[in-house]
Structure 1
């Protein structure tokens, strides 16, 4: 209903002010040759419609992807910069990827749909983006490759250097690899998204953020085969609120330090529920890196049968082969965990494995209560070279200092 009202409004605005420089103009992909039968390649039509929208003389052009249709798209990039200061995409219809990986022949294999250098972009609607990723999950390479070569497959939806970006209401399923990647963007708001893929689908992260700032991810469901949200180097002022995550690998910062200097700061995760995830909230860094992960908070988090709810891992080495032990490491500091409750399917519910040389500083636990669902096992916390304080926390984090007046992780007046 909101989309209908929005469409009627912009149509009336256009009709009442024809030819005006500030008028809203509409660009329907069907008018540029898109068929929308789910079988015909509509890539060229979408590219034509985008070019017209991007070069529109009006200030607020609208690209319309109409309802009741399914548009098959090969890899396509929607490039800017554009003439209008803002562009709206009203996505009521559905978009699907080709069934065959060979559709990527001649294209960059690392992406399917991409928006680059488009400022003031808003994509809103109830449509679905279906990556049909099953063909990529077992073998992410396009062709047979020599032994030792690693392929990653395409990211379904990429935003690169798009400032003032809004994505709202879209449903995104079964991506080939990452569902959505945000890279080198500023002032981003994602809300009311539904992102899903089977828990067995490899590397199907929900949202990946790198080199970006002032990003808000709000009120969304994400259940995939990898991280629900992953935050990588160069990102700052990231606010994640109201996320239902699971299945998946939780909400992660890192891994940082694999290729030199990395910094992530001012990340705040609030009011989230993680259900049946492999990990909960974690910070992971490689040995030998340089940089910082700092001013990070996790507040009002609920775990429901998460395998490993709270993790700081400065010895990240997923292959478990030739893992290094270096003298340098990413500095982790000013990390707080507050008002966190829930259950874990393991007994090690808190794991702070900090670098033996650098360590973690100013780690704060306040009102954290996590229990284990393992029969006969009591939840415990592991801490190595982590420094900070705790209060009202169970299990007790013995490597940290209890606030004055505490005994066994509780203030004495609480019993």
Structure 2
């Protein structure tokens, strides 16, 4: 029996070494912190949060800097985690969480701890979270209370969202790869105040009617890559928010959901900025909107140098949209003289079908307008034969070439 255990440990160590070596440029020995060895039961019923925190503490604080610490979540186990936060900084320049098992959140009536997020990572540079595991937020117990559609007070909108499934704050050099994030109580993954982030090969899934379950939200971050992932949720597949720049979104399959969005920006008169965002080679299927920029009246700042290229639509509603009068609850909507300045936006090489008639909608502020908007080789057809499609503009300045439907509403 001792030899069998030893062999199993050697095999696991070799497999982990192979997985980690694929990301390590400098090499180095591994130190493995298996959550089972720190007291996790993995039976889906016992609270394994203390064991996970003990494993993290040992990996982050106590590991020699010459080794690569690996927090290991083994397969064929289900770990129940109450809301918890993994804190940095860590001694090692890079720290791994290898996800092979399944994590589940408590249902709403058993929720204790942070109301903001289920799993949080703070101040951890060089964090790599990867594997084929599943992270299940069990959001169905939250969704009936997450909608504000009938709430007369828009200020209460935030209170109608469930907690973030995962939040990463001040985590430079973050890498997320390979795992599945499903059924978030609210938005699935939140990245904020982070530089040099790469997110790839994720599966993010929730029912299309689950409210406020964004796939990936990016805020106050720079140099972000989101690529080769499948996102099917009840809200934005990807939302790029204030204070964010140098974002590259490529190879995303999105739907159901609300498409790929810049914003919304300018809530509460805020001075919000987004720039250098490039969305490439993405497919949107049956989404409520396609690719869009949405800003709230009364805000300040800008959204500029944004491009959407090589996008394919399949039966999408509102495929191309700039909306500077964004007011989702449709109550107490006001018209202000100030607005987020939108400029240098291009839609190039876009094709597909739409269930809507108005497939290109550029609704810009009446005073500032939208500047230097470009459409080229944009071909959108009705998803139902015999229907017609059209384009509309309000104070949009730009140029359209080789576009169907025709865009004759641009101002010079």
Check whether TM > 0.5: yes
1:103, CA displacement in angstroms? Answer: 3.1
Q: Given the superposition, is the C-alpha separation of residues 65 and 318 from structure 1 closer, same or farther in structure 2, using an over 3 Å criterion?
A: same
* Matching of residues 139-158 of structure 1 within 5 Å: 139-140=145-146, 150-158=159-167
Contact 1:96 1:130 in 2 (8 A): yes
* Matching of residues 12-411 of structure 1 within 5 Å: 23-55=29-61, 56-59=63-66, 60-99=68-107, 101-105=108-112, 107-140=113-146, 150-259=159-268, 260-374=270-384, 376-400=386-410
Contact 1:286 1:314 in 2 (8 A): yes
Q: Given the superposition, is the C-alpha separation of residues 7 and 332 from structure 1 closer, same or farther in structure 2, using an over 3 Å criterion?
A: farther
C-alpha separation in 1, matches of 2:168 and 2:90? 15
C-alpha separation in 1, matches of 2:314 and 2:116? 34
User: Counterpart of 2:282 in 1: which secondary structure?
Assistant: strand
C-alpha separation in 1, matches of 2:233 and 2:16? 36
C-alpha separation in 2, matches of 1:401 and 1:283? 19
Q: How many residues align?
A: 386
What is the TM-score with the length of structure 2 in the denominator?
0.90
Q: What residue number does 2:25 align with? A: none
Q: Higher mean Cα deviation, 365-374 or 5-14?
A: 5-14
1:58, CA displacement in angstroms? Answer: 3.4
Give the CA RMSD over aligned residues.
2.1
Q: Which runs of 5+ in 2 are unaligned?
A: 1-9, 21-27, 148-152
C-alpha separation in 1, matches of 2:402 and 2:11? 50
Q: Given the superposition, is the C-alpha separation of residues 178 and 12 from structure 1 closer, same or farther in structure 2, using an over 3 Å criterion?
A: closer
Q: What residue number does 2:3 align with? A: none
Q: Deviations over 1:229-270 (max 9, x none)?
A: 001000000000000000000000011011310000000000
Q: Deviations over 1:94-116 (max 9, x none)?
A: 101113x24333x1211100111
Q: Given the superposition, is the C-alpha separation of residues 57 and 380 from structure 1 closer, same or farther in structure 2, using an over 3 Å criterion?
A: same
Q: Given the superposition, is the C-alpha separation of residues 23 and 381 from structure 1 closer, same or farther in structure 2, using an over 3 Å criterion?
A: same
What is the TM-score with the length of structure 1 in the denominator?
0.89
User: Counterpart of 1:25 in 2: which secondary structure?
Assistant: strand
